[in-house]
Amino acid sequence: VRRRWRPSGALRIFTGSESASRRRLFFALWPAAEVAAPLHAAPVAAHPGSGGRVMRRDSLHLTLAFLGDVMAARVADAEAAAAKVTASAFTFDLDRLGYWKHNRIVWAGCAAVPPALTALAASLAQALRAAGFQLEDRAFAAHVTLLRNAVCPPAASALAESIRWPVMDFALVESHAGAGGSRYAVRRRWPLRGPRG
Ligand code: ATP
Ligand code: MG
């Protein structure tokens, strides 16, 4: 049994065949090991007294668009929308450490979000909306969740060392609810346009 809050606020309980016909999906930047390793180490160094749960290294990601529970028959439409995205590859630096009180998350982000990242998220959102997917209206907040259930904000608001992230593609990811937190599986990737065309 899997409970999920729907936007309407009504509690739905998915069981049996109904849950089998739905996938919990989101689009994300999925870091290579060279990026994930320092990201994973950052909160341990920066926030030893957080009391929080460190995200698994192979779970770290930056969400571009959250679809939520999608009918299996609609997955191909989401993939077709992703294929329409026109955005260029880019490199950016994660240099900021932040904390959201409402969900007690410690995250890594950028002091200045690169326009190429904003453009990628916007292009994807536009393609998904055109395909009939309802996305949240709230503004894109580029972040990588590092710690959950942190009891207090980190002492520093900058990463000790910024982390360079070359972005060559984006991914469609499936989220599986589990006892120790959600598990993610990259289903498919789409390359971004290279600098040389
Ligand atoms: P859990 O919900 O089990 O605590 P989670 O939030 O990481 O774990 P999901 O809820 O499946 O797992 O979310 C997958 C990704 O999408 C996460 O990066 C999450 O922050 C993001 N996300 C979830 N809900 C939304 C939303 N309504 N709007 C934007 N991003 C979302
Ligand atoms: Mg969630």
For residue 100, the surrounding DSSP H or E stretch is: strand 90-100
Best probe residue, ligand 1, of 175, 176, 186 (max atoms within 8 Å of C-beta): 175
pLDDT at 16: 52
pLDDT at 1: 47
* CB of 175 closer than 6 angstroms to any ligand 1 atom: yes
* CB of 30 closer than 6 angstroms to any ligand 1 atom: no
Amino acid 124 reads L
Determine which one of 40, 47, 61, 176 is catalytic: 61
Can 61 be counted among the known catalytic residues?
Answer: yes
Helices then strands (H, E): number in the chain?
4, 11
* CB of 26 closer than 6 angstroms to any ligand 1 atom: yes
Torsion region of 102: left, alpha or beta (phi above 0 gives left; psi -120 to 50 gives alpha): alpha
pLDDT at 2: 55
Residue of 183, 187, 176, 185 whose CA lies nearest to 2: 176
Predicted structure pTM score: 0.90
Report the chain (197 residues): mean pLDDT per 10 consecutive residues. 50 56 97 97 79 92 98 97 96 96 96 96 98 94 95 89 97 94 96 79
pLDDT at 15: 53
